[in-house]
Amino acid sequence: MDDTRFLPRQALQTLLDALHRQGYRTLGPVVQDAVVQYLDIDSIDRLPSGWTDDQAPGRYRLSRVDSPRCFAWATGAQALKPHLFHAREVLWNTRRDDAGKLVFGEQEPDVRRLAVIGVRACDLAALELQDRHFLHAIKDPYYGAKRQGLFVVAVHCAYSADTCFCASTGDGPRATHGFDLALSELDDGYLVETGSDRGRAIATQLPLQSATSTQVHEAAAAITEAANRQFRQLPSTHLRDVLFDRLQHPRWEEVAARCLACGNCTSVCPTCFCHAEHDDAALGGSTSQHLREWDSCFSEGHAYLHGFNVRPDTHQRYRQWMTHKLGSWHDQYGRSGCVGCGRCITWCPVGIDITEEANAICTADVPQGESP
């Protein structure tokens, strides 16, 4: 990374303006429907200045704080996933020509440039994991086109919610790579780091000043404090083998008794990529669209294979989710699929906590009578 520079608070608008001049659509955090969401912004006035969040298992609330800061909250309900891997996407379309023959039409990938401001370290780590799947494993052209046009402005976390545990997965709260620019927020402005040639090109258009050692120290201390504030953590052991040794653990049934199989956890998870494909035909039968839509370990259809449901019970679906996320991701993508963002804990309507469940299954002694 290059030398850190300082950008006065109101000059953040020059970053948006520079990105617009380069042809980027710009998304930033905005408070809408009582949650922080990435929406289109042309002005820094839309940023959530003076807002913070209060998160707990099954709970998300925003509240006002007496602060000029725009990034004094931890995470919104969604990371970058919906902007690169759309919840519903047309892959191709079909129509009948005048002779009644089927004609297949290609859906062109979306190549528009997109800049996202305010990306957290955990969400950058999730982006890297989605890259491993969509870019390298399945070489998806739709994701690839959007990913190529993505400009990331990260913000190091100076605040952790009670559900965050990125320090335990090694993915935060400081963003270390994968960004074009990274900001550390101070009361009067931002420290700016560059992480790519594109970021350096944009930085030349900003009224940057030399950062003082006091500013650099204050920003670093805030990130350390955010890490220290986290009290949840996954078991430190290598979870893959332990989880697969404990497939008959009674805790799977216990958590299933509480789990609604609603799929919220997989919808908000920034690394979950499971999807279903189906054809949506017009009533007259003259046209149809082939769609890809988000699916979930928890949906009945996702477990339906060749006329047989391979995971009819909730405990099997929860087990599938956790053993894939924390276990077989290591085989497929070289690391755990969890980046510690805590969203699945916050947005679970009954407050099921992946760290609590993983610790109950992996660190406690196996009850007598079980055969791990």
Give the footprint of ligand SF4 on this chain (CB under 6 A).
259-265, 268-271, 298, 325, 338-344, 348-350, 352, 354
Joined tokens for residue 256: 């299933």
What's the min distance (Å) between Cβ of 338 and ligand SF4?
3
Cα(358)–Cα(355) distance, rounded to whole angstroms? 5
For the CB of residue 60, give the shortest distance to ligand SF4 in the complex, in Å. 13
Least distance in angstroms from the C-beta of 250 to ligand SF4: 17
Tell me the closest approach of the beta carbon of residue 346 to ligand SF4, in angstroms. 9
Give 215 or 271: the residue with its C-beta nearer to ligand SF4. 271
Please report which helix (H) or strand (E) contains residue 203, including its range: helix 197-203
| Cα gap 354→342, rounded to integer Å | 8
In angstroms, rounded to a whole number, what is the distance separating the alpha carbons of residues 20 and 40?
A: 12
What is the rounded distance in angstroms from the CA atom of residue 171 to the CA atom of residue 155?
Answer: 13
Rounded to 10 deg, the angle between the 354-362 and 251-258 helix axes is 160
Tell me the three state secondary structure of residue 74.
coil
Any idea what the Cα angle at residue 263 is, between residues 262 and 265, rounded to 5°? 120
Q: Are strands 25-32 and 114-119 parallel, antiparallel or unpaired?
A: parallel
Distance CA 124, CA 268 (A): 15
Nearer to ligand SF4, 209 or 233 (CB): 233
Smallest distance, ligand SF4 to C-beta of residue 255, A: 7
Q: How far is the CB of 271 from ligand SF4 (least distance, A)?
A: 5
By C-beta, is 7 or 352 nearer to ligand SF4? Answer: 352
Minimum gap (Å) between residue 323 Cβ and ligand SF4: 12
H-state helical runs in the chain: 12-21, 81-84, 121-131, 141-148, 166-169, 197-203, 213-228, 239-245, 251-258, 264-268, 314-323, 329-333, 343-346, 354-362
Q: For residues 189 and 270, which CB has a smaller minimum distance to ligand SF4 in the complex?
A: 270
Judged by CB, which is closer to ligand SF4: 25, or 315?
A: 315
Which CB sits closer to ligand SF4, 218 or 356? 356
Q: Which is nearer to ligand SF4, 26 or 296 (CB)?
A: 296
